Copies of this chain bind each other. A is one copy, B any other.
Amino acid sequence: MEIFSLDRRPVHEQVYDLLRNAILNGEIRPGERLLQDDLAKRFGISRMPIRDALRLLEADKLVVSVPNKGFMVSDFGEEELNDTFFVRSILEREAVLLAVPNITEEAVKALECLVQEMDQCLEERDLGKLTRLNKEFHSVIYRGVPSQCLLGIIRNLWDNFPRYAMLSTLELAEKSQEAHRAILEAIKKGDSVKASRVMENHILAAGKAYAARKELKGG
């Protein structure tokens, strides 16, 4: 009965998802302009839903708009990237502090499993999959955070980041894996303070590594 069902979601939402993924995957590069008429033609739709989608992306900080100039995919300078990681280090430290007391047995099992999978990825040098698993690791932990508001802010900051995953290195990934292991150990012992401190330093270190590479590659 679903065979003939079309996608009934509003067009602007579909456009939003499409563009969002394209930006996050790097198919559309930072700095690239997003022309309304161009997009409208390419999607075969009118300008209205395009504008809606672009405004939504703007709210996510994935694109920026300049009056009378239009929209373009946002880019983060070294400083901004650093700042984002800094704020993440604060927020996620607090998130861990709040989450650890609520972490279930299953969650711990899932985390152990993820750490193993990430080990595998490290051996296979599969940075792409590693990035995905890493995100999963963090979000399993945060499932226990009782504040939707805090979680929303963290998610937002995370979204401004997969685009820069290409800046990741094996070296950083190995250091991160150590942190993951330490966090998992602390969680098992119920030591939320230690877990949060490790998380904070883990994110800070990642931020420094990214910013350094960003500088090298030249924004």
By a beta-carbon cutoff of 8 Å, the part of chain A in contact with chain B is: 9-10, 13, 48, 51-52, 55-56, 58-59, 67-68, 80, 83-84, 86-87, 90-91, 94, 147-150, 153, 157
Determine how many copies of this chain the complex contains: 2
Asked if A90 meets B48 with Cβ closer than 8 Å, knowing A55-B59, A59-B59, the reply is no
Contacting pair B58 A149 (CB below 8 A) = no
Contacting pair A94 B90 (CB below 8 A) = yes
Asked if A83 meets B48 with Cβ closer than 8 Å, knowing A10-B67, A13-B67, A56-B55, the reply is no
Contacting pair A149 B84 (CB below 8 A) = yes
Q: Which residue of B lies closest to A56 (CB)?
A: B55
Given A84-B149, A90-B94, output 7 extra A-B contacts at Cβ < 8 Å.
A10-B67, A51-B52, A55-B55, A80-B149, A83-B149, A86-B149, A87-B150
Q: Which residue of B lies closest to A90 (CB)?
A: B94
Residues of B within 8 Å of A87, CB to CB, are 147, 149-150, 153
Bound together, the chains give a CA A13 to CA B55 distance in angstroms of 13
Return A213 CB to nearest CB of chain B, in Å. 20
| CB-defined A-B contacts under 8 Å, sample of 7 | A10-B68, A51-B51, A55-B59, A56-B59, A80-B149, A84-B149, A86-B147
**Most B CB atoms within 10 A — which of A48, A68, A90?**
A90
Return A34 CB to nearest CB of chain B, in Å. 15
Residues of B within 8 Å of A86, CB to CB, are 147, 149-150
Contacting pair A83 B147 (CB below 8 A) = yes
Residues of B within 8 Å of A58, CB to CB, are 59
Residues of B within 8 Å of A10, CB to CB, are 67-68
Contacting pair B147 A9 (CB below 8 A) = no
Q: Which residue of B lies closest to A147 (CB)?
A: B83
Bound together, the chains give a CA A147 to CA B84 distance in angstroms of 9
Return A174 CB to nearest CB of chain B, in Å. 28
Residues of B within 8 Å of A80, CB to CB, are 148-149
